[in-house]
Chains A and B, each alone.
Chain A
Amino acid sequence: MKKPTILLIEDDELDIISVERSLKKLESEYVLHSAYNGIEALKMLRDNALGLIPDVILLDINMPRMNGIEFLKVIREDKNLKDLKVFIMTTSSEGDDRSEAEKLGISGYIIKPLNYTENTKRSDSMDAFVQFHLRKILLDENI
């Protein structure tokens, strides 16, 4: 069976590592591709149109060159890419970003906590948080 594919668009190396580690701890196996910004992600999606149509995209908002919102706008207008499943994963809790993203059609909006002490009750670390949400997304979306 083909392994489900995940595209992570994120400029922070730490977050990429965190997602990689979290995925490794999950029960099934996944293929993870990562891009550092919207432009790079678009290039990847368009160049290998057949080879890389991810089952889900995890999208950060604050990124250099092309941010998450701009990326969303572009793919929603691209007839080959407009149906992609996108989850926002960001530290931005600004209401404007969220409402704009929701207007462009997203499957979920996850705010990564900056305060790990506040979340000690739920999970021990950033990894645990990411893992919890990834498992939920992949289960809910039946991937």
Chain B
Amino acid sequence: MKLSTQILLAFTLIILLSVADSYTNYMLSKKVQRNSEFLAKSEEIIRNSNKTHKTIIEMQSAFRGYLLTDDRTFLHSYFQGIKIVPILIKEQELRLGNTNKQRAILDSINLLQTSWVKYSEELIQARTQKPVAYRKLFESSLKKHVGKKMNDAIAGKFSRFDKIEYKKRKYHTDMLLGSLKYAHTFSFIFLTLTVIVGVLSTIFIMYVTNRRINSMVRLAENISKGNFTIVEDTRNDELTQLATSLNSMSSKLDKNIHELKNRNAELNKFAYVVSHDLKAPIRGIHNVVSWIEEDHYNELSPKLRKYLEIIPQKTKRMEALINGLLDYARLNIKAPPQRINTNALVHEITDSIITRNISLQIDDLPDLYTERIKLEQVFANLISNAVKYTTQEGGKIKISCKIFPNLYEFSVKDNGIGIAREYHQKIFEIFQTLREQNEQESTGVGLAIVKKIIDDQQESIAVKSELGKGAEFIFTWRNN
């Protein structure tokens, strides 16, 4: 499966679980809200029921008080009740709606109350205006507890009404508690699952990617060090594609570098063999000429002697050219770096190269850690160049060094014939020599060797010179 699909799946699962959790809590909050609305309404119903009952009881005691004392002030509460009770009952009817048990009870309360009011009104009227009728009524209904029975029935109905209401309230509360518990459980499960899925998928993705990315980083490091290994990756996702690309890059690089090395080795061998085989006939020619001169010199005519003298000059030049080529071909051979006393090295070189009278000044040169043969060849060629191009008398060569952090700037300066500006670049090309061809010493390879070494080591070289005013070669050398 693709890595992005895996990540997408994990995130989708986490989001779905979070949504489920939120939905559970939302539903719970809705239930709580509905319940609190119900409780508020229930509170009003009970309050109304109590108030109605209280008003009715006050009416009853006012009625009884009046009948006993004939004091009309008692009747104030009674008339108040007559006005209020229907309003309260109407209000309660609206709250309860049309069809339920409590409505039926309320209707019967209303009916009983109406008939009690009728009964009490009759008695009050009689008590006020017709004492005879009142007495008769007193005997027929009051004494027989007609009103009291009605009152008791009303009280009983109210009690039943309230009981139903409380029962309903309890049921709702229980339901709410139940769903609270239910919601808590689900919310806990969803949250736990979210955390588990999140942690597991994070660990999984980290496990899948980290190890592989690390192995690819190692591969890249190996490649930069020149070890063209490959990484094993058998999963089938984006990282596998990357690994495959890296592997193919690595093997391609390996192949190319291998090829390059082979070709270099072949080329080196070729140059070596060619130079070696070219030298043998030259030696032969030289030998034969020397034998002729040794054994038959007296038999030769002056002209022949003169011609014969030309041959060694030419063979020597040929040999110098071949040696130059050999040196150039050998440049590719790598040697391990070592500590080098540059002072001693330069003195050794000047001792072996300078065979005539030249004023030589060598400043104090630093010790270096580098490939000896390369530095030696650069100095040898520059010094031998300086020797070649200074005049027989009054030649001066100065070798000095400027020290920078991690970098040295060496200078080989002479007071020789100098180099015109237009040749400053050309002198570094192979077989470029600014002298006449038959001057055997200059082959045009020396500076090409210097340039190749400097380029290979990623150093730089520059020449400061004007025709007739000497030349100064300045090159840098890093100290590793």
Contacts and interface: CB of A to CB of B under 8 A. Distances in A.
A14 B319 contact: no
A127 B291 CA distance: 9
Nearest to B288: A14
A107 interface: no
B290 A114 contact: no
B283 interface: yes
Interface string B266-292: 000000000010011001101110110
A21 interface: yes
Given A17-B291, A115-B323, A126 B283 contact: yes
A116 B276 contact: no
B316 interface: yes
A115 B286 CA distance: 11
B324 to A, nearest CB: 12
A99 interface: no
Interface string B173-195: 00000000000000000000000
Interface size range of chain B in the complex = 10 to 19
A116 B286 contact: yes
B320 interface: yes
A80 interface: no
Nearest to B320: A117
Contacts of A34: none
Given A115-B319, A117-B319, A14 B279 contact: no
A18 B319 CA distance: 20
Interface in A1-44: 12, 14, 17-18, 21
B276 A91 contact: yes
Interface of A: 12, 14, 17-18, 21, 91, 114-117, 125-127
Given A115-B323, A117-B319, A127 B290 contact: yes
Contacts, number: 35
Contact of A21 (B286, B291, B316, B320): B291
A131 B250 CA distance: 58
A14 B323 contact: no
B312 to A, nearest CB: 9
Contacts of A116: 283, 286, 319
B45 to A, nearest CB: 116
A140 B279 CA distance: 31
Contacts of A14: 283-284, 287-288
A12 B285 CA distance: 13
Given A117-B316, A117-B319, A18 B279 contact: no
Contacts of B276: 91, 114
Nearest to B283: A114
Closest CB pairs A-B (n = 4): A114-B279, A14-B284, A126-B287, A125-B290
Given A126-B286, A127-B287, 5 more contacts: A114-B276, A115-B319, A116-B319, A117-B319, A126-B290
Interface string B206-242: 0000000000000000000000000000000000000
B287 A125 contact: yes
12 contacts: A12-B284, A14-B283, A18-B287, A21-B291, A114-B276, A114-B280, A114-B283, A115-B319, A115-B323, A117-B319, A125-B287, A126-B283
